[in-house]
Structures are given as structure tokens and as C-alpha cells.
Amino acid sequence: MYRVLIVDDEPEIRQGLQLKVDWEGLGLLIAAEASNGVEAMEILTGEAIDIVITDMNMPVMDGMTFLDACHDQYPSLRLIVITGYEDFQYAKAAVKNHARDYLLKPVARDELTMALTNVKQELDKERRSQDQAAMTEWRLSQYYAKMKEHFIVHLVKEELERISVVKDRARLFELDVWDDRKVRFMTAGLKDAAAPEHPSERSPDKFRLPFDIISRECADKHRGFIQVFRDANYPGLMHFVMLENEALEREFTGALHQNVKTFMGFELRVGIGQAVTGFVQWKEGYITALLAWNLPNDRETGKSRTPAGQAALPEDTIKVLRRYLTRGELSKFSEAIRHELRGTIGSQPRFVKVIFQLYLMLESVAHEQHIALDSREQLWLRPEMSLSLDTVEKAEPFLMRLAAKIERKREIDSGEGDPSLIEAAQHFIDENYMYDLNLTMISEKFNYNSSYFSEMFKAKVGKTFIQYLTEARMNQAVRMLRTTTLSLWDIAELTGFSNASYFSSKFKRMHGLTPSEYRQQSSEKIDSEHPKK
């Protein structure tokens, strides 16, 4: 609501003005009253005011002097002048100081309502323009690009919270329309012609940055039709979300192949997943692209596709396997993966696909627990390795070696009170503070009872889960207040607070200032550090 200051030396006039208008219905709030210009200037110094309604004939500081001071010190104020004198000088002063209206006493109800309505519409238009400019500036920033990419990774890797919340956040990143579109995910990586036992000095792993730059430049030429992102688990791979369109796919992959070969001297390996529609299916679409990338490429196109109709292991199966692994139940884990692998006998593509999906789960757990895998253990570096794992007897030992590595780390941590688990939980919160996190969800993710996890977290971190999460969110909110002009609503949404009001009250409790006051203070500090010449 816009805040209004009424300035008049007669209390009954101020009271009458309050009774003449449905202020709340207009979206206005009478924030303060003053009996003369001096009092009004003091109020303007300490409070945010949008509209001033002022008399002209007042003691101490008359209306003309007051208008001059407002125009000089607060040029964005909307001024409405009210006077009982049909004096040209007053009208002239009002026009000079850009007053929005000039009304004669006694003020008619409909005239005042009309004047306020016009001013509000003007403020609404200006605010929309400011919000649009702030959003444009935000969308051009590197911070926005980083958060947008993080949001896409969240869509393809984590359990989604309420879909309405996801759609609201997607709107901030101009992705809301993608929820209704049929898309395919594509995974691309550089081929290494060297044998594993004789690694080349020109290893693709050493060319991540130029590959990243080329991939983004190619995708940027199809802005609005292709989204590009990286997954920290697979630093050498680039991933793309493309609108389902054969011509677009052909043109983009052709350009990417050509640019990588021309500027880097590498051949490209590409995997294209199954078509999916809706954010809830993006996770499956991403997995099928990773799996397709792991399959042998077509010699003519340099691409491979996930075989249609062959779904990956169900999500529930993966959850069970992950639970066995994180609890150290390796015998059950071994028996379960052996069962899943045997169920694919007779279909080599499906067998390879299941191996790779099991590997993805193992690598995800290793990444969470900060366990480094060497190049011989990373299928994303050498996808052809999976083809040599052509029997259950060969595949199971490879997967169990990774499981044993994770178990050794778990046993070490158990002896020290699980410090890496808490570090992993902190890292997860730091990376996902903007989403709907809660203690139950975090404790389940790390396979702990929520009460025990809560006590362990506080003992190791020195603050409760809620305190840590709130501070993580608040740190990012402070950063946005200092570096962007986004509205408080957008900042609250981007940092995981339920609404702007809750964010503002929490912010004031922690910092002693409202977010707007903090932003103003930061702006003044920056101005003082960089004085105008």
C-alpha cells in the first residue's frame, strides 16, 4: 500500500480528509499527520512516504516553502495541494513543484477520490516500470544465470516440492512456459581416443572450460528453445534441455560437433533422452539422456538414444538401494543389484543401462560424502568401460568396489561421530536454501531419525537446523539487497522465505533494520565511498 502524509494546521481538516475517502479500498494508508511544513519535513526524514496532501496557508513553514523543500529533497513525492484561497501564487507554486492536483476547500469527496486515484495509477505505472527494470537487470546478471542453472539441476535431481511452488520459482527464471512443453534432454562430452591404460596428454578432462564456453555459445544462438546446464557430479559433461523439434536437434548437434572439432580438435559424444512433458518428468528425461550417452553412438550421426519403452530402474528401487548403501548393509545391497542385473539378461542395451543407473546412484552418494573417485572408477570419463562389463560377474564387482569405498568412509566417520554427514547436510542446505527444506526431509535424506539428527546437528554445528537454514537464507537475502534492485517479494521467494512480510519481520529481528532501510543504508554507503566528481 502507498503511504500518505496529511499536512494541515487545522486538526478538524485533517480528520475530515481521513473520513472523506475509502483509503484501504484505494490501496492507500495514512501513515502520518503534520500541522506545518517543519513537522512534515521531520516526518519525511524518518519515514517512507509516497503521497503528500498539504494545505498552503500554514504557520512556521508555509505551503510554498514546504513545496520547494519537497521538490528539492524528495523529487519522487506525489504532491496534492489543498487550500481555501483562490490565489494564483499558490497555483503557480503548485505547478512549479509538479503537484499532481490543486483542490479548493471544502474538498468534495469525489474530487479527492479522483485525485488520489490518478496519483495511485501513476505510482502503479512507475512501480511496474521499476520492477520490470529491476527484473531485466537481474536477468542480465551472472548471479541470475547461476541461480537459474541451479534451479534446472534441482528439477532434474531432487524430489520436487509442491508443483505450485516450483512453477512460481520457474516464473522468476522465465521457465514457467516450459512446464507444458515436450522436451528432450541431451548430454554431450568429448571423446578420448586413448586407451585407459595409456591416457593421452590431451585428455578431455583438461578441456572443460573451452568445452563449456563453446556449448553455451551454441545454445545461446537458440535462446528460448534450448537451456544449458552443468551437473557438478559430471564436470566434464554439458547438458541441454531442448524443445522437441527434429530440425532444431539436427541443427544444434551439428553446430556443436563442428565447433568442438574446429576449435578444440576433439570428436563429440552425444546422448539424447526420451521426450518428456512437465517438470515432474524432467528427472526421468535427464537420466535417459545420461544413459543414452553411455550407449554406443551411431557412426553416422555421432549420437545415441535411449531405447524407447525401456524405462530406467523405478525410483522406489533406487531409494531402497540407496538406503542399503548409506546404512552400510552391503550384503543386502549386493543381493539387490545382482537381482536387478539378472533381470536384464537377454537385452544388452538394458543391461548397460541398468549398470549406468546404478553407477549414477553410487556416484551421487560418493559426491555427497566428499569421496573422490579416480578416473578408472568414473564411467562419465570412459563410458565405453560399461561395454566391457557385459556380465553380472563382471559388473557386480565393479559396482561393489564403489560401494565398499563408500562404506569405508562411513565406518571412519562413525568413529568420529559422523562429521562428514553433518558437513554434507550443511553443504546441501547451503546449495538448496531457496527450496522448501525441513528437518524431516533432511534427516530422511541422510537416513537418520529426525530427533537424533537434530541433536547431532546442533552438537556439531553449534546452532539448530532452523537457525542454520535461516542464516543461510538471510545471507543470500543480504547479498541480493546490496547487489540487486529486486522487490522484497522476489527476494523472499528466491531465498526460500514463505512471504515478504515474514522475511521483513525476520530480517528486522536479526539486523535491527527493515530490508528497505538496510538497502537504503547500503546505497548511501556506496555513494559515500564513490563521491561524485
What is the per-residue pLDDT for 526? 46
CATH H-level, domain 156-305: superfamily = Reverse transcriptase/Diguanylate cyclase domain (3.30.70.270)
Q: Give the per-residue pLDDT at 85.
A: 62
Question: Which 8-state DSSP code applies to residue 158?
Answer: S
Task: Check if 2-138 and 156-305 are the same fold.
Answer: no
Cell of 157: 535431481
Mean pLDDT of all residues belonging to the chain:
83
Mean pLDDT across the stretch 101-130? 85
**Residue 94 pLDDT > 70:** no
Per-residue pLDDT, 247: 95
Is a pLDDT exceeding 80 seen at residue 96? Answer: no
- What whole-number distance in Å separates Cα of residue 374 and Cα of residue 377? 5
Phi and psi angles of residue 438, each rounded to the nearest 5 degrees, phi first: -150, 165
For position 397, what pLDDT does the model report? 92
Q: How confident is the model at residue 220 (pLDDT cuts 50, 70, 90)?
A: very high
Tell me the mean pLDDT in the region 453-477: 91
Give mean pLDDT, residues 501-525: 83
Helix (H) or strand (E) holding 443: helix 439-445
- pLDDT higher than 90, residue 399: yes
Question: pLDDT tier at 306 (50, 70, 90 boundaries)?
Answer: low
Higher-confidence position of 282 and 448: 282
**Is the pLDDT confidence value at 533 over 50?**
no
Q: Please name the fold of domain 419-529.
A: Arc Repressor Mutant, subunit A (1.10.10)
Whether residue 179 has pLDDT greater than 50: yes
pLDDT reported for residue 187: 95
Is the per-residue pLDDT at 181 higher than 50?
A: yes
Strand-pairing partners, residue 101, are: 80
Tell me, rounded to whole angstroms, the distance of Cα 449 from its chain centroid.
29
Domain boundaries, the chain: 2-138, 156-305, 315-415, 419-529
Q: How far is the C-alpha of 309 from the C-alpha of 307, rounded, in Å? A: 6
- Does the pLDDT of residue 250 top 90, yes or no? yes
Homologous superfamily in CATH for domain 2-138: Response regulator (3.40.50.2300)
Q: What is the pLDDT of residue 450?
A: 84
Q: Give tens-digit pLDDT for 322-376.
A: 889 888 889 999 999 999 999 887 777 778 778 888 888 898 888 877 787 777 7
Residue 370 half-sphere exposure, CB side, CA atoms within 13 Å? 12
Question: What ranges make up the beta strands (E) of 96-217?
Answer: 101-104, 182-190
Residue 177: the pLDDT is 92
- Read off the amino acid at residue 37: G
Structure-block grid coordinates of residue 419 = 562429521
Angle among Cα 373, 440, 446 to the nearest 5 degrees reads 15
Above 90 in pLDDT, residue 256? yes
The whole-angstrom separation of Cα 457 and Cα 56 is 64
For the cut 50, the answer to whether the pLDDT of residue 7 exceeds it is yes
The more confident residue out of 348 and 461 is 461
Residues in the chain: 533
Sequence-separated (6 or more) residues with CB below 8 Å from residue 419? 413, 460
pLDDT digit string, tens, across residues 257-270 = 999 999 998 999 99
With cut-offs at 50, 70 and 90, classify the pLDDT of residue 377. Answer: confident
Question: Which residues have a Cβ under 8 Å from the Cβ of 262 and sit 6 or more positions away?
Answer: none
Provide the pLDDT for residue 198: 47
What SS3 state is found at 138? helix
The pLDDT of residue 368 is 76
pLDDT band at 193 (very low <50, low <70, confident <90, very high): low
Which one has a higher pLDDT value, 412 or 278? Answer: 278
> Which residue, among 120, 110, 130, has the nearest Cα to 78 in the 3D structure?
120
Condensed to tens digits (0 to 9), the pLDDT of residues 289-301 reads 988 887 766 655 6
Question: What is the average per-residue pLDDT within 47-69?
Answer: 83
Going by pLDDT thresholds of 50, 70 and 90, the confidence category of residue 386 is confident
Backbone angles phi, psi at 202, to 5 degrees: -90, 60
Instruction: Give the pLDDT of residue 531.
Output: 42
> What percentage of the chain reaches a pLDDT higher than 70?
85
State the pLDDT confidence band at 499, using cuts at 50, 70 and 90: confident
For residues 386 and 266, which has the higher predicted lDDT (pLDDT)? 266
Cell numbers given for 55: 494545505
Q: Dihedral angle at the C-alpha atoms of 460, 461, 465, 471, nearest 10 degrees? A: 180
Q: Does residue 525 register a pLDDT over 60?
A: no
% of the chain with per-residue pLDDT over 90: 27
